[in-house]
Amino acid sequence: MQAHTHPAPIVVTMGCPSGVGPEIAVVAVREARRRGIDCRLLGDRGALEHAAQVFGLDPTRLLGPSNIEAPLAEWIPMLETVAPLDPADRLPGKPTALGGRAQLSWIDHATDMANRKEAAAIVTGPVSKEVIAHCGADKAAAFTGHTEHIARRLGTGVPVMTFVADGFAVALVTTHLPVRDVATALTVEGVRHASVACVKLLLQMGKRPARLVVSALNPHAGEGGMLGHEEQTTIAPAIEQARRSIAEEGLEAIIDGPTPAEAAFRVAMNGAYDGVVAMYHDQGTIPMKLKFFGRAVNVTAGLPIIRTSVDHGTAYDIAGTGKADAGSLLEAIRLADRLARG
């Protein structure tokens, strides 16, 4: 099959070596390459060889960098950036500190490759935030997720965690923080930026105009201030600024809100909008996972590189059993490919 055209390959990080990451990575990358997408695996050879065997695949199909130009459909090229892990550090369901350090090193290496234009995009497998944060590696203690870590490493851009499925997108204004801190973390600029970033992503996906609804924080959008004032003091002004921003940039978009979250998601998912801006993590991820779990892709908007990821975690309970579904990772690779090709 003819390879898709973009200036460099897509790099797929394996995720936690003790989770389902190795299994879904082998399956998804093999299928993506069969579809003509030039992608490379970044991870631990031992974990990936074992994962291949779990699915009845030939582990000798994993190639090193010296054989990286092998035919797309027949081989799975991989990059190894750290010393091979000992078997004890890649046991299914039993993560270790060394495995956590390896996870972080793969993320950092892929990010740097994309920043140097050596990778057209990066696609990240599921990691354990807790294991990475306690692994003892430099700067690991501050790790709360790919989104924030990649932005810090790049030192430019403001990341917006966004979930995409079937041409529909949900952007999060705040991400990994306690619910009690959400209200104080919301700012006019944060809501404006998330709204504009979501509009630009929707336009990249071919939505013309991009139709976006911004959800409220409080029940009934604050009920005129009886149930909270964030809609009046923060979200509504941010929507007005977002409208001005897209007008100044000549972008074709419609932004409505603030709308009570229960109504925003219902009408948007019924076709009235192409996307929703949610104020906090679970406000956006619960409806997305209820409707699109296994098909949704995590996209980090607002950065100078393309990064997509799965919509699920490490699933330690089924790691090594062959029960993992690679569908979300394959969709993440396909979306990264489409975005990389413009």
For the chain, domain boundaries = 1-157+304-342, 158-302
For residues 71-95, give the mean pLDDT. Answer: 84
- pLDDT at position 1 over 80: no
The fold of the 158-302 domain, in CATH, is Isopropylmalate Dehydrogenase (3.40.718)
Q: Residue 55: pLDDT band by 50, 70, 90 thresholds?
A: confident
Provide the mean pLDDT of the chain.
92
Is the pLDDT at 70 greater than 60? The verdict is no
Tens digits of per-residue pLDDT, 224-233?
999 999 999 9
**CATH fold match for the domains 1-157+304-342 and 158-302:** yes
**Confidence band, pLDDT 50/70/90 cuts, at residue 58:** confident
pTM for the whole structure: 0.86
Domain 1-157+304-342, CATH homologous superfamily name and number: Isopropylmalate Dehydrogenase (3.40.718.10)
- Mean pLDDT across 259-277: 97
Q: Say which residue, 158 or 171, is predicted with more confidence.
A: 171
- Tokens 């490919």 map to which residue? 337
Report the relative pairing of strands 307-309 and 121-124 from DSSP bridges. parallel
Residue 279: predicted pLDDT:
98
Confidence class for position 176, pLDDT limits 50, 70, 90: confident
The predicted model gives 197-201 an average pLDDT of 96
- Position 71 confidence tier, pLDDT thresholds 50, 70, 90: low
Instruction: Report the range of poorest mean pLDDT among 3-7, 140-144, 277-281.
Output: 3-7
Q: What is the mean pLDDT of residues 300-316?
A: 93
Distance CA 130, CA 151 (A): 19
